[in-house]
Amino acid sequence: MKIWHIVGARPNFMKAAPVYRALARRRATQTIVHTGQHYDAAMSDVFFRQLGLPRPGHNLEVGSGSHAQQTAQVMMRLEPLIAQARPDWVLIYGDVNSTVAAALVCVKLGVKTAHVEAGLRSRDRTMPEEHNRIVTDHLADILLTPSADGDANLRAEGLPASRIRRVGNVMIDTLVRLLPSARRLSPLGRGEGCAPFVLVTLHRPSNVDDPRHLRTLVAALERIAVEAPVLFPVHPRTRAKLEGKTVKGVTLAEPLGYLEFLALQTRAALVVTDSGGIQEETTYLRVPCLTVRPNTERPITVTLGSNELIGTDPEVLVRRARAILRRGGKRGRVPPLWDGRAGERIAEELTARTRR
């Protein structure tokens, strides 16, 4: 079985790792293509190293650009490689520009794709990822969903049941495997048994691209920092918008490696984020999470997990953060099939469909 994995941006790497490992156990011939959407060492190399992913067979080096430029460059550079290699399956992950670009290339070459993390919908048309999700799901041959809401969304859009397979959450596979290694680290001076702190990530265009809105969120973080230290590893997109400003009481750090960030999540009293993956990781870890967005494509983290969707009003953020720091927050439950075996189920499904 000849498998290609297309990855490009930070949240793809932890999803591809368990699938790669499960397929390696089945002796599949595998190639990783890195589109180069994320290229900083801190956004890419450290993840390959920590996750044990082999070096990519191809790096398309597309880099940054507008959505159209990035998507088009991935398509142009990927097409000749896929046309020549003609893998049995191309695996695509999540909802980034590299994902939709790969789906378009493969479907037109008649090469089969499997979409890992299919079916998620925020129903927010201002979110670039929402378009990537919808287009990718309608093009892919197998839709591998993390939870029942994913299946329901796909069925509601008319996608046939035969293409949908619920496998659980692959990102949790990586978390389960690497938790013991993460627990041995003390990033930013926070080891086991440290005093309570708040961990923050913000990088969504809707939160960081408008400097006025970003300033109001940063002012809210300064007020939260009066209650407990705030640690904020800053995504390059956010860093550019902060323009070197210091934030009172808030430790601004470079983006962290996978293990370092996981270690901090396990010890945080509260996580404040607008990331998708972090809503899921905190749900698994049962750490209270406030999501600074009006909607989420991962509703199960709210209905079952430890996540609370609070919108983007800084006053609400401060109020909810204070309440959680003083009285504790929701712990929730771990959703079904978030059990560390999703990669195995994906490998089984691909093997079965290749034999047919």
By annotation, the residues acting in catalysis are 203
In whole angstroms, how close is the CB of 224 to ligand UD1 at the nearest point? 23
Residue 115 in contact with ligand UD1, rule: CB under 6 A: no
Nearest-angstrom CA–CA distance, 350 and 356: 10
Asked if residue 269 binds ligand UD1 (CB under 6 A), the reply is no
Instruction: Identify the DSSP state of 334.
Output: P
Smallest gap from Cβ 265 to ligand UD1, in A, equals: 16
Of 9 and 171, which CB lies nearer to ligand UD1 in the complex structure? 9
Radius of gyration, alpha carbons of the chain: 20
Q: Would you state the structure tokens that stand for residue 251, as one six-digit string?
A: 């430790």
User: Quick one: which of 25, 40, 69, 83 contacts ligand UD1 (CB under 6 A)?
Assistant: 40
Residue 192 makes contact with ligand UD1 by CB under 6 A: no
**20 sits near ligand UD1 (criterion: CB under 6 A):** no
Q: Return the number of the residue (64 or 181) whose C-beta is nearest ligand UD1.
A: 64
> For the residues of 146-162, what is the DSSP string, one character each?
SSHHHHHHHHHTT--GG
183 binds ligand UD1 (CB under 6 A): no
First-last CA distance in the chain: 13
Residue span binding ligand UD1 (CB under 6 A) among the ranges 18-26, 156-164, 229-237, 286-294? 229-237
CB 211 within 8 A of CB 240: no
> Does the footprint of ligand UD1 cover residue 297 (CB under 6 A)?
no
Orientation of helix 277-285 relative to helix 170-183, angle to 10° = 60
Chosen residue from 78, 91, 96, 268 binding ligand UD1 by CB under 6 A: 96
Q: How far is the C-alpha of 298 from the C-alpha of 34, rounded, in Å? A: 26
Binding mask 118-137 for ligand UD1 (x = CB under 6 A): ----------xx--------
On the 0-12 / 13-18 / 19+ scale of CB atoms within 10 A, 246 is exposed
**Residue with smaller CB distance to ligand UD1, 37 or 283:** 37
What is the pattern of x (binds ligand UD1, CB under 6 A) and - over residues 202-221?
-x------------------
**Contact between 290 and ligand UD1 per CB under 6 A:** no
Whole-number Å distance between alpha carbons of 139 and 108: 10
**By CB under 6 A, is residue 36 in contact with ligand UD1?**
no
Cβ–Cβ < 8 Å for 269, 294: no
The 10 Å Cβ neighbour count of residue 303 is: 12
CA distance 284 to 3: 29
Q: How many C-alpha atoms does 288 have within 13 Å on its Cβ side? A: 17
Triad 132, 135, 138: Cα angle to 5°: 140
Which DSSP helix (H) or strand (E) runs through 252? strand 250-253
Out of 3, 5, 7, 10, which residue is the one contacting ligand UD1 (CB under 6 A)? 10
The nearer residue to ligand UD1, 42 or 148, going by C-beta atoms, is 42
Selected from 13, 39, 197, 338, the binder of ligand UD1 by CB under 6 A is 39
Of 234 and 259, which has the nearer Cβ to ligand UD1?
234
Give whichever of 35 and 113 is closer to ligand UD1, judged by the CB atom. Answer: 35
| Cβ closest to ligand UD1, residue 259 vs residue 325 | 259
Please state the closest distance from residue 40 (CB atom) to ligand UD1, in A.
4
Residues that bind ligand UD1 (CB under 6 A): 9-11, 37-40, 43, 64, 95-97, 128-129, 203, 235-237, 240
